[in-house]
Amino acid sequence: MRMFFNFKYINLFFRKNKFMINIIFGIIAGIGTAIGIGGGTILILLLNFFTKMEQYSVQGINLIFFIPTSLLAIYMDLKNKLIHFKIVKKLIITGAIGAICGAVLASKVENSNLRKYFGIFLIIIALNGTVTFILQYIKSKKDKNINYKK
């Protein structure tokens, strides 16, 4: 039986067309950043899956990518009055502390292990999102049944 996707040929295509692929990756990750679903995470996944870069390089590219895309997203959110500054102030301070701790920790971890830990982190996030979605779906069904019976 022949598979629909042959990843060998897909990877070959990506290696031969790097410029176009970088444009596609940038657009996909930029959209993710703009709508707040983690464009950086998307970019890391794409770069890890379709390139042979080390995890440290991928993370560095992601951090540089994040600067202009997040500034544009911030501008749009400011324009639409979607930013709550009281919360942001607290998060900036604690986020900076977390970034320092994470950078120190990442510098002490071997590249292959860092990639595994990132994968585990993504699995946990996916499971959390799935469980949350299912619980919200069940709750909405119960709410509809309660409203329907009235």
Reported pTM: 0.62
Q: What pLDDT is attached to residue 81?
A: 92
Question: What mean pLDDT value characterizes the chain?
Answer: 83
Mean pLDDT across the stretch 58-87? Answer: 90
Which H or E run includes 125? Answer: helix 111-149
Q: How far is CA 48 from CA 6, 13, 58, 101, in A?
A: 18, 16, 7, 23
- The model's pLDDT over 84-123, given as tens digits with 9 standing for 90+, comes to 999 999 999 999 999 999 889 888 989 888 888 888 988 8
